[in-house]
Amino acid sequence: MKIGLVCPYDWDFPGGVQFHIRDLALTLINWGHEVSVLAPASENLERASWFVDAGRPIAVPYNGAVARVQFGPLAAARVRRWISDGDFDVLHLHEPAIPSLSLLACWAASGPLVGTFHAAHSRSRALNAASPFLEPALEKLSARVAVSEAARETLMGHHGGDAVVIPNGINFDLFAGAIPQPKWQNLTLGFVGRFDEPRKGLAVLLEALPSIIDRHPEVRLIIAGRGDIDSVTGHLIPATKDHCEFLGIVDDQTKAELLTSIDIYVAPNTGGESFGIIVAEAMSAGAPIVASDLAAFHAVLDEGSAGRFFTQGDSEDAARVISDLLDDASARIELSRRAQLAALRFDWSQVAAQILSVYEMVAIPGGKVHLGEANLLTKRRAGEE
Protein backbone atom coordinates (compact mmCIF):
# COMPACT_ATOMS: atom_id res chain seq x y z
CA MET A 1 0.00 0.00 0.00
CA LYS A 2 1.24 3.54 -0.82
CA ILE A 3 0.65 5.70 2.25
CA GLY A 4 1.16 9.44 2.67
CA LEU A 5 1.50 10.79 6.20
CA VAL A 6 1.21 14.54 6.85
CA CYS A 7 2.77 16.01 9.99
CA PRO A 8 1.56 19.52 10.92
CA TYR A 9 4.45 20.37 13.26
CA ASP A 10 8.14 21.15 12.87
CA TRP A 11 10.01 17.88 12.45
CA ASP A 12 13.08 19.36 14.17
CA PHE A 13 11.26 20.30 17.40
CA PRO A 14 9.95 16.83 18.16
CA GLY A 15 6.99 16.14 20.39
CA GLY A 16 4.40 13.43 20.76
CA VAL A 17 2.81 13.93 17.33
CA GLN A 18 6.14 13.86 15.48
CA PHE A 19 7.30 10.74 17.36
CA HIS A 20 3.97 9.05 16.61
CA ILE A 21 4.26 9.76 12.88
CA ARG A 22 7.93 8.77 12.72
CA ASP A 23 7.43 5.44 14.44
CA LEU A 24 4.25 4.66 12.52
CA ALA A 25 6.12 5.31 9.26
CA LEU A 26 9.02 3.07 10.27
CA THR A 27 6.68 0.28 11.37
CA LEU A 28 4.70 0.39 8.12
CA ILE A 29 7.89 0.46 6.03
CA ASN A 30 9.17 -2.53 7.98
CA TRP A 31 5.93 -4.34 7.09
CA GLY A 32 6.56 -3.74 3.39
CA HIS A 33 4.43 -0.65 2.71
CA GLU A 34 5.60 2.38 0.72
CA VAL A 35 5.44 5.46 2.96
CA SER A 36 6.13 9.17 2.47
CA VAL A 37 6.02 11.74 5.28
CA LEU A 38 5.48 15.44 4.54
CA ALA A 39 6.37 17.90 7.31
CA PRO A 40 7.80 21.37 7.86
CA ALA A 41 11.40 21.43 9.08
CA SER A 42 13.37 24.30 10.56
CA GLU A 43 16.79 22.79 9.92
CA ASN A 44 18.47 22.03 6.61
CA LEU A 45 19.54 18.46 7.38
CA GLU A 46 20.02 15.24 5.51
CA ARG A 47 16.87 13.15 5.90
CA ALA A 48 15.63 9.62 5.43
CA SER A 49 14.46 8.85 1.89
CA TRP A 50 10.83 8.63 3.05
CA PHE A 51 10.82 12.18 4.45
CA VAL A 52 9.80 15.21 2.34
CA ASP A 53 10.74 18.66 3.68
CA ALA A 54 7.90 21.15 3.12
CA GLY A 55 9.95 24.18 4.21
CA ARG A 56 10.45 26.30 7.30
CA PRO A 57 7.58 26.67 9.80
CA ILE A 58 6.47 29.66 11.84
CA ALA A 59 5.75 29.63 15.57
CA VAL A 60 2.20 30.29 16.80
CA PRO A 61 0.65 29.83 20.28
CA TYR A 62 -1.57 26.76 20.48
CA ASN A 63 -3.07 24.67 23.32
CA GLY A 64 -0.81 26.09 26.02
CA ALA A 65 2.35 25.65 23.98
CA VAL A 66 4.02 26.97 20.84
CA ALA A 67 3.17 25.14 17.62
CA ARG A 68 5.62 25.42 14.74
CA VAL A 69 3.48 25.01 11.64
CA GLN A 70 3.39 25.96 7.98
CA PHE A 71 0.46 27.49 6.12
CA GLY A 72 -0.26 29.74 3.15
CA PRO A 73 -0.12 29.72 -0.68
CA LEU A 74 3.47 28.44 -1.00
CA ALA A 75 2.82 25.61 1.45
CA ALA A 76 -0.41 24.76 -0.40
CA ALA A 77 1.50 24.46 -3.68
CA ARG A 78 4.03 22.12 -2.08
CA VAL A 79 1.24 19.99 -0.64
CA ARG A 80 -0.51 19.70 -4.02
CA ARG A 81 2.74 18.70 -5.73
CA TRP A 82 3.53 16.08 -3.08
CA ILE A 83 0.04 14.58 -3.37
CA SER A 84 0.24 14.50 -7.17
CA ASP A 85 3.71 12.91 -7.21
CA GLY A 86 2.83 10.39 -4.48
CA ASP A 87 -0.25 8.82 -6.08
CA PHE A 88 -1.15 7.46 -2.64
CA ASP A 89 -3.65 4.73 -1.84
CA VAL A 90 -4.37 6.46 1.48
CA LEU A 91 -3.52 9.89 2.90
CA HIS A 92 -3.24 10.06 6.69
CA LEU A 93 -3.50 13.63 8.02
CA HIS A 94 -2.54 14.41 11.61
CA GLU A 95 -4.36 17.28 13.36
CA PRO A 96 -6.28 18.32 10.22
CA ALA A 97 -8.39 20.84 12.18
CA ILE A 98 -5.60 23.39 12.72
CA PRO A 99 -4.05 25.73 10.10
CA SER A 100 -1.24 23.52 8.89
CA LEU A 101 -0.06 21.23 6.09
CA SER A 102 -2.68 18.70 7.20
CA LEU A 103 -5.57 21.10 6.64
CA LEU A 104 -4.08 22.14 3.29
CA ALA A 105 -3.84 18.47 2.29
CA CYS A 106 -7.43 17.91 3.38
CA TRP A 107 -8.57 20.74 1.11
CA ALA A 108 -6.42 19.63 -1.83
CA ALA A 109 -6.80 15.84 -1.80
CA SER A 110 -9.40 13.49 -3.11
CA GLY A 111 -9.71 9.79 -2.42
CA PRO A 112 -9.28 7.96 0.90
CA LEU A 113 -8.43 10.36 3.74
CA VAL A 114 -7.80 9.41 7.38
CA GLY A 115 -7.53 12.13 10.02
CA THR A 116 -5.98 11.56 13.43
CA PHE A 117 -6.81 14.00 16.23
CA HIS A 118 -4.23 14.25 19.01
CA ALA A 119 -5.14 17.36 20.99
CA ALA A 120 -7.29 17.53 24.11
CA HIS A 121 -8.37 20.80 25.65
CA SER A 122 -11.36 22.60 27.09
CA ARG A 123 -13.87 24.40 24.92
CA SER A 124 -12.34 27.20 22.87
CA ARG A 125 -14.14 30.19 21.39
CA ALA A 126 -11.61 30.34 18.58
CA LEU A 127 -12.14 26.69 17.62
CA ASN A 128 -15.90 27.04 17.89
CA ALA A 129 -15.79 30.11 15.63
CA ALA A 130 -13.60 28.28 13.11
CA SER A 131 -15.74 25.16 13.04
CA PRO A 132 -18.03 26.23 10.15
CA PHE A 133 -14.92 27.15 8.15
CA LEU A 134 -13.31 23.77 8.83
CA GLU A 135 -16.40 21.60 8.44
CA PRO A 136 -16.27 21.26 4.61
CA ALA A 137 -12.69 20.00 4.83
CA LEU A 138 -13.31 17.61 7.72
CA GLU A 139 -16.36 16.20 5.95
CA LYS A 140 -13.96 14.85 3.32
CA LEU A 141 -12.35 12.51 5.85
CA SER A 142 -13.17 8.87 5.19
CA ALA A 143 -12.23 8.01 8.78
CA ARG A 144 -11.52 9.89 11.99
CA VAL A 145 -9.15 8.53 14.61
CA ALA A 146 -8.56 9.94 18.11
CA VAL A 147 -5.55 8.92 20.20
CA SER A 148 -7.59 8.91 23.43
CA GLU A 149 -11.06 9.45 24.82
CA ALA A 150 -9.99 12.98 25.77
CA ALA A 151 -9.00 13.71 22.16
CA ARG A 152 -12.25 12.14 20.94
CA GLU A 153 -14.31 14.32 23.27
CA THR A 154 -12.42 17.41 22.08
CA LEU A 155 -13.15 16.50 18.46
CA MET A 156 -16.83 15.89 19.14
CA GLY A 157 -17.19 19.06 21.22
CA HIS A 158 -15.64 21.40 18.68
CA HIS A 159 -16.30 19.83 15.30
CA GLY A 160 -18.98 17.18 15.75
CA GLY A 161 -18.74 13.65 14.42
CA ASP A 162 -17.23 10.68 16.16
CA ALA A 163 -13.92 8.84 15.93
CA VAL A 164 -12.47 5.41 16.55
CA VAL A 165 -9.96 5.54 19.44
CA ILE A 166 -6.53 4.13 18.60
CA PRO A 167 -3.83 5.09 21.12
CA ASN A 168 -0.38 6.46 20.50
CA GLY A 169 2.26 3.81 19.96
CA ILE A 170 5.55 3.06 21.70
CA ASN A 171 8.52 0.81 21.03
CA PHE A 172 7.92 -1.50 23.98
CA ASP A 173 11.00 -3.68 23.43
CA LEU A 174 13.36 -0.69 23.38
CA PHE A 175 12.25 0.45 26.83
CA ALA A 176 11.60 -2.95 28.39
CA GLY A 177 15.02 -4.18 27.27
CA ALA A 178 17.05 -1.15 28.36
CA ILE A 179 19.90 -1.77 30.82
CA PRO A 180 19.71 0.19 34.11
CA GLN A 181 22.57 2.63 34.65
CA PRO A 182 24.01 2.83 38.19
CA LYS A 183 24.57 6.60 37.87
CA TRP A 184 20.79 7.11 37.72
CA GLN A 185 19.84 4.70 40.49
CA ASN A 186 19.41 5.02 44.28
CA LEU A 187 16.59 7.41 45.24
CA THR A 188 16.15 9.10 41.88
CA LEU A 189 13.14 10.79 40.36
CA GLY A 190 12.84 11.34 36.61
CA PHE A 191 11.22 13.95 34.39
CA VAL A 192 11.35 13.99 30.58
CA GLY A 193 9.81 16.73 28.45
CA ARG A 194 10.01 20.29 27.16
CA PHE A 195 10.52 21.79 30.59
CA ASP A 196 10.18 25.38 29.37
CA GLU A 197 6.49 24.75 28.61
CA PRO A 198 4.48 25.53 31.77
CA ARG A 199 1.84 22.86 31.05
CA LYS A 200 4.48 20.13 31.36
CA GLY A 201 4.48 20.94 35.07
CA LEU A 202 8.17 20.94 35.99
CA ALA A 203 7.56 23.99 38.19
CA VAL A 204 5.09 21.95 40.26
CA LEU A 205 7.66 19.19 40.75
CA LEU A 206 10.43 21.63 41.66
CA GLU A 207 8.14 23.29 44.20
CA ALA A 208 7.49 19.87 45.73
CA LEU A 209 11.18 18.94 45.84
CA PRO A 210 12.17 20.67 49.14
CA SER A 211 9.50 18.70 51.03
CA ILE A 212 10.66 15.48 49.36
CA ILE A 213 14.27 16.28 50.31
CA ASP A 214 13.20 16.83 53.95
CA ARG A 215 12.00 13.21 54.09
CA HIS A 216 14.64 11.78 51.75
CA PRO A 217 17.86 13.85 51.94
CA GLU A 218 19.62 11.71 49.31
CA VAL A 219 16.94 12.06 46.62
CA ARG A 220 17.94 13.33 43.16
CA LEU A 221 15.84 14.64 40.28
CA ILE A 222 17.07 13.80 36.76
CA ILE A 223 15.61 16.11 34.10
CA ALA A 224 15.86 15.41 30.36
CA GLY A 225 14.46 17.47 27.52
CA ARG A 226 14.53 20.76 25.69
CA GLY A 227 14.53 24.08 27.55
CA ASP A 228 16.57 26.91 29.04
CA ILE A 229 18.28 25.41 32.08
CA ASP A 230 19.32 28.79 33.49
CA SER A 231 15.73 30.04 33.49
CA VAL A 232 14.80 27.06 35.67
CA THR A 233 17.76 26.88 38.02
CA GLY A 234 17.83 30.64 38.53
CA HIS A 235 14.73 30.37 40.71
CA LEU A 236 15.97 27.47 42.83
CA ILE A 237 17.57 27.77 46.23
CA PRO A 238 21.06 26.16 46.36
CA ALA A 239 19.87 23.31 48.57
CA THR A 240 17.34 22.30 45.92
CA LYS A 241 19.58 22.99 42.91
CA ASP A 242 22.19 20.57 44.24
CA HIS A 243 19.63 17.74 43.97
CA CYS A 244 18.87 18.40 40.27
CA GLU A 245 20.71 17.09 37.22
CA PHE A 246 19.87 18.35 33.71
CA LEU A 247 20.71 16.05 30.82
CA GLY A 248 19.42 18.21 27.97
CA ILE A 249 17.95 16.52 24.91
CA VAL A 250 18.60 12.77 24.90
CA ASP A 251 18.23 10.11 22.22
CA ASP A 252 15.75 7.26 22.54
CA GLN A 253 18.31 4.78 23.85
CA THR A 254 19.49 7.13 26.60
CA LYS A 255 15.89 7.94 27.48
CA ALA A 256 15.11 4.23 27.78
CA GLU A 257 18.13 3.66 30.04
CA LEU A 258 17.10 6.62 32.22
CA LEU A 259 13.51 5.43 32.58
CA THR A 260 14.50 1.89 33.54
CA SER A 261 17.02 3.19 36.12
CA ILE A 262 15.04 5.68 38.18
CA ASP A 263 13.00 4.88 41.28
CA ILE A 264 9.96 6.95 40.23
CA TYR A 265 8.94 8.70 37.03
CA VAL A 266 6.96 11.88 37.74
CA ALA A 267 4.46 13.33 35.23
CA PRO A 268 3.40 16.64 36.85
CA ASN A 269 1.60 18.01 33.76
CA THR A 270 -1.02 20.66 34.44
CA GLY A 271 -3.23 20.25 31.35
CA GLY A 272 -3.44 20.00 27.58
CA GLU A 273 -2.52 16.31 27.49
CA SER A 274 -4.59 13.90 25.43
CA PHE A 275 -2.45 10.81 26.03
CA GLY A 276 1.05 11.02 27.48
CA ILE A 277 3.54 9.08 25.36
CA ILE A 278 6.34 9.57 27.87
CA VAL A 279 4.15 8.01 30.56
CA ALA A 280 3.54 4.96 28.36
CA GLU A 281 7.28 4.74 27.64
CA ALA A 282 8.07 4.94 31.35
CA MET A 283 5.53 2.18 31.96
CA SER A 284 7.20 -0.06 29.38
CA ALA A 285 10.57 0.59 31.05
CA GLY A 286 9.09 -0.61 34.33
CA ALA A 287 9.31 2.74 36.09
CA PRO A 288 6.89 3.25 39.00
CA ILE A 289 4.87 6.32 38.06
CA VAL A 290 3.39 9.25 39.96
CA ALA A 291 1.27 11.52 37.77
CA SER A 292 -1.10 14.45 38.07
CA ASP A 293 -4.71 13.38 38.00
CA LEU A 294 -5.44 14.37 34.40
CA ALA A 295 -8.08 12.29 32.62
CA ALA A 296 -5.54 11.28 29.96
CA PHE A 297 -3.16 9.87 32.58
CA HIS A 298 -5.99 8.02 34.33
CA ALA A 299 -6.72 6.25 31.05
CA VAL A 300 -3.09 5.33 30.31
CA LEU A 301 -2.45 4.17 33.91
CA ASP A 302 -5.58 2.00 34.06
CA GLU A 303 -7.33 4.33 36.51
CA GLY A 304 -4.54 3.94 39.05
CA SER A 305 -3.78 0.23 38.94
CA ALA A 306 -0.51 0.99 37.11
CA GLY A 307 0.46 4.23 38.85
CA ARG A 308 -0.37 6.74 41.57
CA PHE A 309 -1.91 10.19 41.27
CA PHE A 310 -1.71 13.56 42.96
CA THR A 311 -3.97 16.58 42.60
CA GLN A 312 -3.11 18.51 39.46
CA GLY A 313 -0.98 21.57 40.24
CA ASP A 314 -0.76 20.78 43.97
CA SER A 315 2.93 20.58 44.90
CA GLU A 316 2.19 19.61 48.51
CA ASP A 317 0.11 16.65 47.40
CA ALA A 318 2.78 15.71 44.86
CA ALA A 319 5.46 15.76 47.58
CA ARG A 320 3.32 13.56 49.83
CA VAL A 321 2.55 10.93 47.16
CA ILE A 322 6.13 10.81 45.88
CA SER A 323 7.64 10.59 49.38
CA ASP A 324 5.22 7.87 50.44
CA LEU A 325 6.13 5.79 47.39
CA LEU A 326 9.86 6.30 47.98
CA ASP A 327 9.25 4.84 51.46
CA ASP A 328 7.58 1.72 50.05
CA ALA A 329 9.93 -0.43 47.96
CA SER A 330 7.44 -3.29 47.67
CA ALA A 331 4.78 -0.95 46.29
CA ARG A 332 7.25 0.31 43.68
CA ILE A 333 8.02 -3.25 42.61
CA GLU A 334 4.32 -4.04 42.21
CA LEU A 335 3.61 -0.81 40.30
CA SER A 336 6.54 -1.57 38.00
CA ARG A 337 5.12 -5.01 37.21
CA ARG A 338 1.60 -3.72 36.57
CA ALA A 339 2.80 -0.78 34.49
CA GLN A 340 4.91 -2.92 32.20
CA LEU A 341 2.05 -5.35 31.59
CA ALA A 342 -0.37 -2.49 30.90
CA ALA A 343 2.05 -0.87 28.44
CA LEU A 344 2.02 -3.88 26.10
CA ARG A 345 -1.22 -2.62 24.53
CA PHE A 346 0.61 0.49 23.29
CA ASP A 347 3.33 -1.37 21.39
CA TRP A 348 3.50 -0.46 17.71
CA SER A 349 2.80 -4.06 16.75
CA GLN A 350 -0.67 -3.51 18.21
CA VAL A 351 -1.26 0.13 17.34
CA ALA A 352 -0.04 0.07 13.73
CA ALA A 353 -2.16 -3.02 13.06
CA GLN A 354 -5.26 -1.12 14.16
CA ILE A 355 -4.36 1.87 11.98
CA LEU A 356 -3.72 -0.41 9.02
CA SER A 357 -7.21 -1.87 9.44
CA VAL A 358 -8.63 1.64 9.05
CA TYR A 359 -6.52 2.19 5.91
CA GLU A 360 -7.80 -1.05 4.40
CA MET A 361 -11.42 -0.10 5.06
CA VAL A 362 -11.19 3.36 3.49
CA ALA A 363 -9.06 2.18 0.54
CA ILE A 364 -12.05 0.23 -0.81
CA PRO A 365 -13.69 2.40 -3.51
CA GLY A 366 -16.29 4.53 -1.76
CA GLY A 367 -15.12 3.19 1.58
CA LYS A 368 -16.11 4.99 4.77
CA VAL A 369 -15.44 3.87 8.31
CA HIS A 370 -18.48 3.11 10.43
CA LEU A 371 -17.49 3.42 14.07
CA GLY A 372 -18.75 0.07 15.36
CA GLU A 373 -17.21 -1.84 12.47
CA ALA A 374 -13.93 0.04 12.87
CA ASN A 375 -13.69 -0.76 16.56
CA LEU A 376 -14.34 -4.46 15.90
CA LEU A 377 -11.89 -4.79 13.02
CA THR A 378 -9.07 -2.82 14.63
CA LYS A 379 -9.28 -4.92 17.77
CA ARG A 380 -9.33 -8.08 15.68
CA ARG A 381 -6.30 -6.99 13.63
CA ALA A 382 -4.37 -6.02 16.76
CA GLY A 383 -4.99 -9.49 18.18
CA GLU A 384 -3.75 -11.18 15.02
CA GLU A 385 -0.44 -9.31 14.68
318 & 263 share domain: yes
376 band by pLDDT with thresholds 50, 70 and 90: very low
Comparing CA positions, the residue from 222, 273, 228, 212 lying closest to residue 244 is 222
Read off the pLDDT of residues 11-62 as tens digits, 9 standing for 90 and up. 998 888 999 999 999 999 999 999 999 999 999 888 999 999 999 998 887 6
Residue-number span of the structural domain to which 233 is assigned: 172-345
125 & 202 share domain: no
Residue-wise over 93-106: b if at least 16 C-beta within 10 A, else e?
bbbbbbbbbbbbbb
* Interatomic CA distance for residues 177 and 257, integer angstroms: 9
177 & 140 share domain: no
The number of domains in the chain is 2
Give 265's strand partners.
190, 289
Lowest mean pLDDT among 65-79, 253-267, 336-350: 65-79
206 & 269 share domain: yes
Evaluate if residue 383 carries a pLDDT over 90: no
- Write the CATH number for 177: 3.40.50.2000
Read off the pLDDT of residues 82-105 as tens digits, 9 standing for 90 and up. 999 999 999 999 999 889 999 999
* Interatomic CA distance for residues 93 and 89, integer angstroms: 13
Lowest mean pLDDT among 46-50, 58-62, 75-79, 225-229: 58-62
121 & 259 share domain: no
163 & 15 share domain: yes
Three-state SS at 310: strand
150 & 263 share domain: no
193 & 281 share domain: yes
* Interatomic CA distance for residues 130 and 123, integer angstroms: 12
Reported pTM: 0.84
Contact 158, 133 (CB under 8 A): no
272 band by pLDDT with thresholds 50, 70 and 90: confident
139 & 186 share domain: no
274 & 146 share domain: no
333 & 359 share domain: no
